[in-house]
Every structure is written in structure tokens, then in C-alpha cells.
Amino acid sequence: MSVEASVNEKGAILLGKHVACDSYDEKRPLRVVTHVHYDHTKGLQQSLRSCQAVVMTPATRDLLEVMQSPLFLMMGNVKTLAYEEPFEFNNECLTLHRADHIIGAAQVLVEDDETGTRYVYTGDFRPSDTPILDADVLVIESTYGNPFQVRPFGRVVENAFIDLVETGLRHGSVYVFGYHGKLQELMQILHSNKVKAPFVAPEKVFQVSKVCEKHGMHLGKVLLSSEEEAKAILEHNEPCVAFYHMNSRRYVARNSFRISVSGWEFSCPRRQISDNEHVVALSDHADFNGLIRYVRESKPKLVITDNYRVGDATILAREITKRLGIEARAMPQKRLDVNLG
């Protein structure tokens, strides 16, 4: 079997002969965007200018429009594909498959029509609702690729989050910090658990929420933080849940009741980090055990671990070979900066 999969120096996952995922590759006519997180949309402008098609799910297209601008995507030929809808291109068949991560997220399968070889890239995923695809060559994310990175608490985390919010609401406004997609998941958790306080969000978070609702999520009523009603609630510290992007955590509501949501927590579902702030261990990535389980059930002949994005790709590759007896390598290989002088 000739191996036609790799990760290039810019972080593009190359599958088969034509497809580059999640970053730019000058030789590839097809670009896939698996989801809208910034480390998966690198070089998108170049891809829009030069690729024959830039492929994504309809939800990812709608999210990109609000996170960039509607004009941004008009630079190129965007092709939306529903999950499992085939796209034939020069003797290869490309399909997107669901990935439980943020709305619109996809795994990528490229099948070589002549040899039948299946190249799979998981993208970012969480195991609970992500189908495991059979692969000959599997490229897998490595965020929590270290055997110590396991979160045994499961659904308990959601309850810990709800309890914390309810505790905070007794004193007034609660500020929640997280990333796009995760924030909307938190809104949905509170809404479906009948937490009655109004939700408030700044412009971008608000717009992302509208896209999530369009694509089937149920978030309840969200007020724009610049509206008079929302401004009055926040000013008087009345009970509400305000959702802000993690990047604004340093300067928004520093003295209020705060909850940050992070996957980099392994010891317990929630942890107090200051007088007025907790961290909740809600992740949208597989932990180490989830990654190993995916590989075992996908039954590839070769695994490539993504060594471009944050994570422990080298350790994960070693553990895959040790535990499952499957050849695995981290790509791209990172050069050590050795000072020979």
C-alpha cells in the first residue's frame, strides 16, 4: 500500500492525491475546513484564492460568515457538503462525517476509487457522539495524547456546571468564559435544565448563537449585551448568565462570579481558582482513552498523529504502537533547535 497521507509544515492534513484539510497546501486543488476553530482555518484566504473548491458543512459555512464576514467566503468557490454526501474528484471520493466537537464539525474520508484505500482524518472530536470510521491510514488529533490526560467523570461535569451557575445566580450575574461553540453548548445545557435566568452575550457570541439555533440547537432567549435591557441587568448585577469568549477573560467582570470552562482539567469536575472564579472541566476533545479507543476500533494499518496543533503527538504515536501494535508516527516532525555553537 502506498501511503498518501501526511501533515505538512503548515499543519495541512493531506489525504490521498488532492485533498488538504485545515491549512493551506499549494499543490492541492481541494481544501476542507473541518470546523471553525482558528487552528483549523489557517491559510483559508490563500485556499479560497487558489483551490478549485473549499469544502465544508453548511453550518461551518454559516459560522465562518459571522466570524469573518459574508464577503470573505465570496473570494473563492465554497462547496458545502452534508454529512455522508459524496463528492467525486479525479478518481477519489471525499465525504464528511459527523464529529462531536462544535456545531458543523466534520471528520474527513477520502477513498481511492482504484485501490479502495481509505484515508481518514478525525479532525477534533469527542467520542460520545462521533462515529468511528474504518481506515487504512488514520490521521488523528492529539490534544490529550498523554496517558495521564484522562477525565473519568463523564456527565457529572454538566451537573457541576449547573450547580455552580445556580449558586452564582443567588448573588447576581454569572459570567461564563469559553470558546465559540462550547459557549453555545453551555447555553443549551442550562436551557434544557430549566435554568430560568436571562442569557446575555456580546455581538460575536450572539451571532454564533443564532447560527447554532438555525442548525438545530436550542439555546433559549439570548440578549445582546449592547441592548438597553441587558445593559441594565449587568449594571445592577441582577441574576443573568453572561457568556463571553475566553479571550476577554482577562478584562471582563474581574470582580464578578466567574466560571471558566476548560478541557485542561483532569483531577476533578470543578475547581475553585480564586475567591470569585471556578474552572469546570468540560472538554470538546477526546481524552487519551478516547483517542486509543478510536484507533483500536478504526483498525488502521498506519496512524499519523497531528504534531502541528497543541497536544502530545509524539507520546500518542508511541503509545498506539506499544498498546495496539499498530505503526504510528507523529507529523510533521518537529526539529529540535540544538545550539551547536
The answer to the question of residue 37 lying near Zn ion (CB under 5 A) is yes
Q: Which of residues 159-218 bind Zn ion (CB under 5 A)?
A: none
The smaller minimum CB distance to Zn ion, of residues 37 and 329, is found at 37
Label residue 6 left, alpha or beta by phi (over 0 means left) and psi (-120 to 50 means alpha): beta
Which residue is associated with the grid cell 461551518?
60
Closest CA to 151 of 8, 291, 313, 14: 291
Q: Under rule CB under 5 A, how many of the chain's residues touch Zn ion?
A: 2
Stretch that binds Zn ion, among 117-125, 203-211, 228-236, 255-263 (CB under 5 A): 117-125
Stretch that binds Zn ion, among 122-130, 191-199, 289-297, 317-325 (CB under 5 A): 122-130
> Within 10 A of 55 (CB to CB), how many other CB atoms are there?
25
What is the C-alpha to C-alpha distance for residues 155 and 108, in angstroms, rounded to an integer? 28
Rounded to a whole number of angstroms, the minimum distance from the CB of residue 246 to Zn ion is 13
Rounded to a whole number of angstroms, the minimum distance from the CB of residue 98 to Zn ion is 14
Rounded to a whole number of angstroms, the minimum distance from the CB of residue 185 to Zn ion is 12
What is the C-alpha to C-alpha distance for residues 55 and 325, in angstroms, rounded to an integer? 34
Rounded to a whole number of angstroms, the minimum distance from the CB of residue 186 to Zn ion is 16
Rounded to a whole number of angstroms, the minimum distance from the CB of residue 237 to Zn ion is 33
The smaller minimum CB distance to Zn ion, of residues 18 and 126, is found at 126
Task: List all residues 6 or more positions away from 158 whose beta carbon is below 8 Å from its beta carbon.
Answer: 189, 282
User: Alpha helix (H) ranges present in the chain?
Assistant: 44-50, 58-67, 70-73, 156-169, 182-192, 203-214, 228-235, 288-298, 313-324
What is the C-alpha to C-alpha distance for residues 193 and 179, in angstroms, rounded to an integer? 21
The smaller minimum CB distance to Zn ion, of residues 4 and 284, is found at 284
Stretch that binds Zn ion, among 7-15, 89-97, 120-128, 295-303 (CB under 5 A): 120-128
Stretch that binds Zn ion, among 12-20, 88-96, 118-126, 266-274 (CB under 5 A): 118-126
The smaller minimum CB distance to Zn ion, of residues 37 and 278, is found at 37
The answer to the question of residue 124 lying near Zn ion (CB under 5 A) is yes
The answer to the question of residue 22 lying near Zn ion (CB under 5 A) is no
Helix (H, G, I), strand (E, B) or coil at 262: coil
Task: List all residues 6 or more positions away from 324 whose beta carbon is below 8 Å from its beta carbon.
Answer: 292, 295, 296
Rounded to a whole number of angstroms, the minimum distance from the CB of residue 60 to Zn ion is 11
Residues forming the site for Zn ion (CB under 5 A): 37, 124
